[in-house]
Structure 1
Amino acid sequence: MHALHKFLLFHLLMCHGRQSIGSDIINGENVKEKLMLYMASVQNNKGHHKCGGFLIDKNFVLTAAHCDNMNPMSVVLGTHDLKKVDDSMRYNVTRCKHPSFVSVSKGDDIMLLKLSSNVGLNNRVQTIPLPTHEGNTNENEECSVAGWGYTEPGESERRMADELRVVNVSIIKDTVCKEAWNGLPANVICAGGYRTDKGFCQGDSGGPLVCNGVAVGIVSFNHEKNCNYPHYPNVYTDISRYLGWINEILKKNK
């Protein structure tokens, strides 16, 4: 129950995304302007970043189900710098949360956001491909995770970054992750945090774990809000386990 309490505490503290304050990419670096053009900022009605997301189709963004705590909600595409946002970058959304989602501790932490209009793909906005089959990651494979927000793991005197940041993380073996996390939900991938000083933190929720140019995971949860590694792995929803659900929704909305 100790681990479950931490899951629930994490969920309440974040409401996620940067929920009141933000995301952390710990020990990362700024993303170059022409890279990661699929990244989306999920925002509240005041235009404050709350969660990450990523464009998978001209009118759909994929994010975490626990980011569904805002009403109304919008998505910003086409910028790495959240100080440089105009109305042309903002889209209202219709939410499609996975029907089995209850909490991060139970899994199924995945949600599709249908955009109010199709996005014009160009040199500022692009989609990212999803896996084509299950089980597409390998132990120690180097991947990346990106987000907006804090850059330090502690809670005091942290500086939030307006520019998108990225850090490289390695895939952790399932058995190792289950041993570290008591009660780990099904259909997840673990990467970063464990035995390293790199990973995500509050507010990066919903962003993609990217391996070889493919979005394989969605930021779900980590260990407590101070993000002091290296004792626990970071946990992502395994996108490959939800391909049928995703494709069915996209097909219905073509």
Structure 2
Amino acid sequence: MHRLSTFLLFNVLACLGQNVQGSYIIHGKKAPANSMQYMVSLQNKWGHHVCGGFMVRGDIVVTAAHCAEERPVRVVLGTHKLSESYMSLDIEYFCKFPTYKSVGFGADIMLLKLSGEVTLSNRVKIIPLPTSSNANLRDGQICSVAGWGQNGTHHPIVDDLRVVNVSILDPQLCREKWGGLPPNVICAGGYNTDKGFCQGDSGGPLVCKGVAVGVVSFNRNFYCTYPDVPNVYTDISKYLLWINNIMNTKKCV
């Protein structure tokens, strides 16, 4: 069974890793004003949104490791509407988790060190991370995910931050539906519901009770007409030591 799972991961999941880069929210709504001020947009040198992310300190953003493939150079923060950019900062350097290879093998998490430190305010805030190595989530628990971009397969990109509620799925059920999964992931939305993320809410947070517990990692191909297989997030609680080491030493470890 272990060999079968490994085979499935290599041949199915490894080829899915590049399918969640951008930002779709399916059957969500515009984010309420003055909410989720921790959200940031990762943008390339042409000023195009490529991934989401979230502030955990005035100079540190958490996002997905595979977002580095889109070559973001700056983050836009302090706004829900990308056409009304409030503030942007260059990315000084990337810190991918050391064992990251592709989303199919897990560890799809990355920290961005910004070129300056933002003064937190009513426009720019941080979101707390889990305090232990166990996220303590329960099957059916309602959480949320947010991002910018398309809100359906092949739909045009949207300008306003959108958010949708999703429910946590039992890990065993999620593994069965996928035929195997990388370690240290959380499943929520995208299955037995018409709500979830799509290409590519990558890097955005899965938020449960005001805490960022997951990072958007992957779904199946470019298919956004749910229900399908569950959406998959990196479990932040399993990477707390690494995150704290970077924040304390101010260098990749």
User: How far apart, CA to CA, are the structure 2 residues paired with 1:26 and 1:71?
Assistant: 25
Matched, 1:10 2:9: no
Q: Any conservation in 1 of the 2:74–2:88 contact (CA below 8 Å)?
A: no
In the alignment, the residues of structure 2 paired with residue 26 and residue 5 of structure 1 have an alpha-carbon distance, to the nearest angstrom, of 27
Work out whether residues 17 and 67 of structure 1, in 8 Å CA contact, stay in contact via their aligned partners in 2: yes
CA contact (8 A) 2:42 2:72 kept: no
Alignment partner, residue 78 of structure 1: 78
The alpha-carbon deviation at position 7 of structure 1 amounts to 2.9
Distance 2:12 2:197 in 1: 16
Distance 1:27 1:6 in 2: 27
CA distance in 1, matches of 2:82, 2:158: 9
Tell me which residue corresponds to 1:185.
182
Q: Deviations over 1:123-150 (max 9, x none)?
A: 1100000000122211111000000011
Distance 1:36 1:210 in 2: 10
State the SS of the aligned residue for 1:202. strand
Instruction: Provide the residue aligned with 2:195 in structure 1.
Output: 198
Q: Which residue does 2:4 correspond to in 1?
A: none
Structure-1-length-normalised TM-score: 0.91
Are the equivalent residues in 2 in contact too, given 1:76–1:91 (CA < 8 A)?
no
Q: Which residue of 1 aligns with 2:3?
A: none
| Cα displacement (A) at 1:3 | 6.2
Matched residues in 2 for 1:71 and 1:174: separation? Answer: 32
- The 5-angstrom pairing of residues 97-116 of structure 1 reads 97-116=96-115
Answer yes or no: is the 8 Å Cα contact 1:63–1:218 preserved in 2: yes
Matched residue SS, 1:241: helix
| Runs of 4+ off more than 2 Å | 1-12, 88-93
- The 1-side partners of 2:202 and 2:71 are apart by 17
SS at the partner of 1:163? coil
> In the alignment, does 2:169 pair up with 1:172?
yes
| CA offset digits 1:42-89 (Å, max 9, x no partner) | 111111000000000111000000001144621111111111125x43
Q: Which amino acid aligns with 2:21?
A: G
Q: Deviations over 1:74-123 (max 9, x none)?
A: 1111111111125x433333100101000000000000000100011011
Q: What SS does structure 2 have at the residue aligned with 1:128?
A: coil
Deviations along 1:137-175, one digit per CA (max 9) or x if unpaired, are: 1111100000001112x33xx132110000000000111
Aligned residues: 244
1:239 to 210, 231, 236: 236
Give the whole-Å Cα distance in 1 for the aligned partners of 2:59 and 2:101: 26
What's the TM-score once normalised by structure 2's chain length? 0.92
1:4 is displaced (CA, Å) by 4.5
SS of corresponding position for 1:126: coil
Does 32-41 or 77-86 show the bigger shift?
Answer: 77-86
Following superposition, the deviation at residue 11 of structure 1 comes to: 2.6
Over the matched positions of the two proteins, sequence identity in percent amounts to 52
Superposed CA RMSD in Å reads 1.6
Give the unaligned 5+ runs of structure 2.
1-6
Output aligned runs, 1:49-88, within 5 Å.
Answer: 49-71=49-71, 73-85=73-85, 88=87
Find the aligned partners of 2:63 and 2:105 in 1 and give their Cα distance: 17
Residue 74 to residue 178, structure 1, CA distance change in 2 (3 Å)? same
Task: Report the Cα distance in structure 1 between the residues aligned to 2:21 and 2:89, rounded to whole angstroms.
Answer: 17
Residue 143 (structure 1) aligned with residue 152 (structure 2): no
**Offset at 1:8?**
3.7
Deviation at 1:2, TM superposition (A): 5.9
CA contact (8 A) 2:63 2:109 kept: yes
Q: 1:40 to 1:184 in 2, by over 3 A?
A: same
Question: Compared with structure 1, are the counterparts of its residues 67 and 30 closer, same or farther at alpha carbon in structure 2 (3 Å cutoff)?
Answer: same
